[in-house]
Structure 1
Amino acid sequence: MNRAANISPLCRPRRPTAPHAGLRPVAAAFVLAIATASAHAQPLPAEATPREPVVTVSASASAGVANDRLRASLRGEAEHASAATAAAEVNGRIAKALARAKGATGIGVQTSGYSSYQVSERDRPARWRVSQTLTLEGRDFAAMTDLVSALQAETGLLLGGIQFSVSEETQRQAEDGLTQQAIRHWQERAARAAQGLGFPGWRPGRVQVQTGEQMRAPYPVMRAAASPAAGGAPVAFEAGTTEITVTVSGEAVQDSRRASPR
Structure 2
Amino acid sequence: MKYEGNLLLFINTHSDTKTGDLVVSSDLKHSGSVWICELIENYIGDHHLAAAAQAIASINSKPGVGSCTHGLIVCTCGATGRVPKSAELLKSLIKNDIFDFVLTFAGIYIMDTIIAPALTWFIENVYIYDMKIWDALEQSFSEDLHALKQAPVMLAFANIYVDLNNTHECVVDSQVLMYSNLLDGGPWGLDIFCCLNAKCGSPSYNIIFRHCSKQYYGRYWLKTNIRYTCLQCHITNKAITTPKWIFLAWSQNFGCIWYQ
Task: Name the TM-score class by shorter chain.
Answer: under 0.3
- The structure with the largest helix share of the pair is 1
Find the structure with the greater CA-based Rg.
1
- The structure with the largest strand share of the pair is 1
Q: Which has the higher contact order (CA 8 A, sep 6+)?
A: 1
- When normalised by structure 2's length, the TM-score is 0.24
